Structures are given as C-alpha cells and as structure tokens.
Amino acid sequence: MTTIETLSDVAPAAHAVDIRELPTPPYRGTTLPDIDYDAHPAYGGMLPKPTLSERLYALKIFVKTFAFVSLRRIVDYENMPLLSKEAGFSGLNFSTALRYVTMFARIRASRMIGTLTGARRPAMPANPALLNKIKADGIVCLTLAPEELDQIRNATNPGFAKLDERRANILPEKRKFDDNVYWCTRTADPAAFATVENVFKRYGIIEAASAYLGRPVGVKHVNGQINDQDLTFWKRVFPDTKLADPWGSYLHIDATYGMLKCAIYVHDIGPDGGPFCYIRGSQNARIGWFEGMVRRTNDFCGFSGRRPDARQKFMALPAFLRRKADFGGDLPDNSPDVARLREGHFAATSNYGNCVLFDGNGMHRGGMVNKGERRCLFILLAEI
Ligand SMILES: [Fe+2]
C-alpha cells in the first residue's frame, strides 16, 4: 500500500489520498484482441454463408449507424448537455431540433472563445500522483473515509429507494439493464451531486480528470445501480449453442468518448459480489479512429448481440468491419490474447478501496454478481 502524503506529491488543496498498488502487471498487448470470426464455432463455424442480399442489408444498416455514431462524435455528444426530460426535451421534432442546434452553436462558440482567450483550460492537478496513476494504469482505487461514505449513502438513499420500488414491480427475469439504474438529476437529487462533488474536490479527483482529459470537467451524471445474482447478462453467451461461457464474457470498452468514470461502492464488495474489473494499462492499447468507430457502430446497431440473428447480420459484414466494443464474449479461451488479458485482469474488490476511478477506453467489466446484491454508484466526469 502506498500512502501519498508527502508535500512534494500533494498540493495544499488536495487531501492525502490512499492509493493501493495493483496486484497485476500491466497489459502486455498493444491492441485490442483480434478475433477470427470465420473460425469461431458460434460464427463462421456454424452459421450458413450470408447471401448477397443479407450482405447488402447488413452493410446498409452499418453505414446508417456509422453516420449516426460519427455525428455523435463530431458534436462531442458526451460533453454536451443531455436532451433530457429535465431539460424540457419532449421528443425529436422541428422545434426541439432547432433548440438543440441553437444550444449546440452557443456552447461551441463560447467554448471556442474560452479556448482562444485562455479561459477554458484543463485544471492544474491538485494531486499529481492521482493523475500519474490514471495515466499509467487507466484505473485508480481510492479509499474514502467512513464518514464520507456515510454522507454519500445518505445523499443517494432516496435514489436507491426509488430504484428498489421500481425493481419490486418487475419480475427478476423480466428486468432489463436499465431497470436496475437510477439516474439522479440536479433538480430531483441536488444533495447527491453536491455530496459527490464535495468529496471529489477534497481529493482532487475532478482536477485529475480534467488534466487527464485535457478539458474542463465536472460531475455530469450520478447514477445508482443495483445488480444481483438474478441478473445474468454475462451467462449463456451463445444461448442457442452448447458452448461453455468464455472467460472473457462481458469484457468491453465503453461506447462513450472523452469522459472518465468513477464507481463508488456503498457497501463491501468481495470477489463474488460483482466487483469492477479492469485490464490494467489497457487504456493505452492502440485503437485507431476508424476502428473505434466501427466497434461502436456494431454495438449501437445491435450487430454485437449474440443471438443467432444478430450473429448472422454481423457475419454478413465484410471481415474488416467485424469488430465490437463489447467483444469479450467472443474471445475463445484458448486464444493467446486471453492469456495476456488474464495476466493484467484486476478485480477491484473492497480491500483495494471504495472509490474506483477509471478510463472506459480500457478493457473492463463489472456487476457480474454470483452471490447476493451489489449496490454501486457510477459517476460520469465530463465537460459540462
Ligand atoms: Fe463499461
């Protein structure tokens, strides 16, 4: 364990922070795993060859979605205000589109002026050790004090209560991923934002995120998540086959860009409690612009799914477009990539901390609960 507390490491503004050393070595690969889908037993190994019309159809959907994903990237969607009901967005029509375009133009213009005048710049890291760790490993585990965790619990309990109520009305087998997430809003849950922001400022987390991302950053979202042993999204990966579930199931990179995320454990999480897991240092793997877009496009248009119809559509794409952001379930256990991934795979159980800051561009997974229930907060840090 390394306690960062020397004056040379910490500016007066940041509290001393307890950062645990990770037990795994960094990822030795330089790219994301390359998967041979023609040889994969659930893809080329069993599916019929796609017809010409299937190929054309898949390509049409891909191109349309690629345009959508490109647009999101160009407008820097993750770093713009949300089109939420809270912001008065009632659905896409001429008036809301006009409103969004006007807002977009106004924000872009003010950011540009800020950049030119030097007013819009990344924060100075109050805690350089934190910044250096996230740069090197893509993940940092911190330990918040018990009273800070109590404050966070108190501020987010109302949100978790609403989530409990919602989940109680849906049978476990019918619950979708989103049924287990409660998105706090600044109007309905101001205490959740204020408490998290206070704690983050105390440790220099917001400044470190800003310096890492190279832009001003704030707490964009706070959401509560409940996962339990009934939510088995990572099991039965290929439901129509007898193939055993692969080790890499649910390993993915995020479809989002330009943000850091933070998981706060509101109770202790052991190896069976669905800890957040990360391939140490994998955020530094080389993913070209086009490759990143292709991976996200397949996730957005549903071609990354593993039911037979989704796999059939995926296989109808030209080989160079067959890449996913959610690729882990397709990794055969005997591939050399898996050996490298296992080596760098780190499970952030509670003994490493209760506040896990990470870059979603690195390979990760979490919420795979074997026993009991996991209650966790996810905080998204982006330009707001
Ligand atoms: Fe993720």
Mean pLDDT, 10 residues at a time, the chain of 384 residues: 38 64 93 96 96 97 95 86 62 78 88 90 88 95 95 96 92 86 92 96 94 94 92 89 96 93 96 96 95 96 96 98 97 94 96 96 95 94 92
In angstroms, what is the span from residue 49 Cα to ligand 1's centroid? 32
In angstroms, what is the span from residue 219 Cα to ligand 1's centroid? 17
Contact 275, 372 (CB under 8 A): no
Say how many C-beta atoms besides its own lie within 10 A of residue 143's C-beta.
19
Q: What pLDDT does 139 receive?
A: 97
Residue 313 to residue 306: CA distance in whole angstroms: 10
Contacts of 150 (CB under 8 A, 6+ apart): none
Pick from 143, 142, 125: nearest CA to 11: 125
CA dihedral of 66, 72, 73, 77, whole degrees rounded to 10: -160
In angstroms, what is the span from residue 178 Cα to ligand 1's centroid? 14
In angstroms, what is the span from residue 190 Cα to ligand 1's centroid? 25
Pick from 194, 196, 166: nearest CA to 182: 166
Strands (DSSP E) along the chain, which ranges? 2-4, 17-19, 139-142, 181-183, 218-228, 260-265, 276-279, 345-348, 355-358, 364-365, 373-382
In angstroms, what is the span from residue 72 Cα to ligand 1's centroid? 18
In angstroms, what is the span from residue 254 Cα to ligand 1's centroid? 5
The residue with tokens 């101001």 is 190
In angstroms, what is the span from residue 197 Cα to ligand 1's centroid? 22
Using alpha carbons, list the distances in angstroms from residue 362 to 252, 257, 286, 377: 8, 11, 10, 20
In angstroms, what is the span from residue 360 Cα to ligand 1's centroid? 6
In angstroms, what is the span from residue 114 Cα to ligand 1's centroid? 31
In angstroms, what is the span from residue 160 Cα to ligand 1's centroid? 21
Q: What pLDDT does 78 receive?
A: 86
Sign of CA pseudo-dihedral 279, 281, 284, 285: negative
Q: What b-and-e string marks burial along 219-235, b requiring 16 or more CB atoms within 10 Å of the CB?
A: bbbbbbbbbbbebeebe
What are the backbone dihedrals phi and psi of residue 359, each rounded to the nearest 5 degrees, phi first? Answer: -100, 115
In angstroms, what is the span from residue 257 Cα to ligand 1's centroid? 11
Residue 28 to residue 96: CA distance in whole angstroms: 47
Q: What pLDDT does 316 receive?
A: 98
302: left (phi > 0), else alpha (psi -120 to 50), else beta? Answer: left
Contact 135, 357 (CB under 8 A): no
Pick from 160, 146, 217: nearest CA to 192: 160
In angstroms, what is the span from residue 48 Cα to ligand 1's centroid? 32
Q: What pLDDT does 1 receive?
A: 38
In angstroms, what is the span from residue 94 Cα to ligand 1's centroid? 33
In angstroms, what is the span from residue 255 Cα to ligand 1's centroid? 8
In angstroms, what is the span from residue 286 Cα to ligand 1's centroid? 18
> Which 3 state secondary structure label does DSSP give 127?
coil
Residue 89 to residue 67: CA distance in whole angstroms: 23
In angstroms, what is the span from residue 244 Cα to ligand 1's centroid? 23
Residue 43 to residue 48: CA distance in whole angstroms: 9
In angstroms, what is the span from residue 348 Cα to ligand 1's centroid? 14
In angstroms, what is the span from residue 364 Cα to ligand 1's centroid? 6
In angstroms, what is the span from residue 292 Cα to ligand 1's centroid? 14
